[in-house]
Chain A
């Protein structure tokens, strides 16, 4: 059963085309992440799904029903915003109850759902507080709670973690993953952070300039990127690109080598000067200038003593090299 189906969705603001022919399906209980650089249209796409923006053309189907003209509240979805967007004049309980009251649910049903959600998100102690009296992390949990109580078939997350600090971001990421396991619903999650995308998603949608670049499971995108953009965007540190003719390939094409597949050694197909070394403890990132303008990154596991300025060779297994054509497409 498909939870959401987009066909040929376009959106333009005046002369500016933000979304161009988006086709996408989300299966039931699937966790889909939209990822892409800022301005690629991922938030707009989410808003079109939510019904906050109308699609200029194309159709949006939720649960097999076309919802192009259905107002947001009747689409059976809930949304968590980057800025939390809590109602400042209501308590945490009031924030969670408002949508249900509006939909006309009975009182005992509302309080049952709120206590269930607050238990899941450990918000029990804060139910009578106002948003102003909560920390950033607590506010974000309230925003998630407000989404849960509506019992939606589809959750929409719009960069929910980007206002949190690094430690809290990791915790909340795990909470969202747990939530997905506990709740019987599909989730769509928008982020520009590829780590969030890789760790949470069943399926990643990579967007650029309003177009879908590639759709696939995280490992699919990592191992088999369709083009140079996806290859560069997925994976950290980013993939290295070397003009193919430097190592005996056809002129004009590029070879892509992931930093973790390259090793520094005495000999190797490439060689250059070490310009910078990042010691992370578990692994070491070595950046080598090989004369292409952009340093070649080697991710070496464990700790290595390498000094900037040293000469080194770079070795890699031909099996792990991806070839890209002049137009950036995979060969």
Chain B
């Protein structure tokens, strides 16, 4: 370690900056959570005060539980996010493996074509997507959302994963071939574990926009039984009256699952499992 890093002043400055940033980032979340436990009056009187015996109220949570099928929304969001991530990772990794491993005519062109989606916002095609969904009868199904999110996530996944897969040693794959492993076994047993950190990165990048998305649920699946959490929370926000207790409670609960998923994936980000595989 160099001298500048060991200097106590520098360490303090570095940690100070990081702590400050953490506080700024956490502040909105903190305000949402404390206010979700307060009565409506208390929220407006002193938005930054912690709930005390007088102002504590679970009214927001009660409203959320009573009105609409919150657990169904929750389940819908979870299904859409997890299934979309699964498909993005599976198909993204497979396409990336093919692009990085096999020599075939049009390889580079195919790679560019698959990466093109990064530059074109999928929402431009909303009308066409809606027409397609109507034609195939997928409107108001979770499948509609899963398909759209998978398509939205694939370009970046293919791009990132193919870069990482190029770094996996050829010798390792060839050793597998000589040992009689099939291409699928090589992909699932040798290559995927080695690019796990990259997979986690792709998962985290894709997870949060999907969980928070309002646009496609509103357009493709607004029916009661397919509402996602974000869409479901909108019922509390009216043009003239907003039930802040309910909105804040719904948001507080919506943070939890995505946080759990993030913790799971970020552990993978940190874990370095591959050292010593090849010199």
Contact = CB atoms under 8 A, between A and B. Distances in A.
A131 B178 contact: no
Contacts of A139: 276, 279
A190 to B, nearest CB: 13
A89 B169 CA distance: 15
A87 B190 CA distance: 7
Contact of A52 (B172, B177, B273, B278): B177
B276 A134 contact: yes
B279 A98 contact: no
A183 interface: no
Q: Which of B174, B178, B279 has the most CB of A within 10 A?
A: B178
Interface in A45-89: 47, 50-52, 71-74, 77-79, 81-89
A174 interface: no
B169 A83 contact: yes
Nearest to A133: B276
B192 to A, nearest CB: 11
Interface residues of B, number: 22
B151 interface: no
A174 B180 CA distance: 30
Contacts of B274: 88
Contact of B175 (A47, A85, A103, A163): A85
A88 B276 contact: yes
A78 B177 CA distance: 11
A255 B67 CA distance: 100
A182 interface: no
B171 A77 contact: no
Nearest to B277: A88
Interface string A221-234: 00000000000000
Interface in B193-217: 193-194
A73 B179 contact: yes
B171 A83 contact: yes
Interface string A127-162: 000111110100100000010001000000010000
Contacts of B193: 88-89
A87 B279 contact: no
Given A82-B171, A85-B172, A102 B276 contact: no
Nearest to A98: B179
A64 B172 CA distance: 29
Nearest to B103: A13
Given A73-B178, A99-B180, A87 B172 contact: yes
Contact of A73 (B177, B276, B277, B278): B177
7 contacts: A50-B178, A52-B174, A71-B180, A72-B180, A87-B172, A88-B276, A146-B179
Interface of A: 47, 50-52, 71-74, 77-79, 81-89, 98-99, 102-103, 130-134, 136, 139, 146, 150, 158, 163
Interface of B: 169, 171-172, 174-181, 189-190, 193-194, 273-279
What are the 9 closest A-B residue pairs judged by CB atoms, nearest first? A132-B276, A73-B180, A88-B277, A99-B179, A85-B171, A102-B180, A85-B175, A81-B171, A83-B278
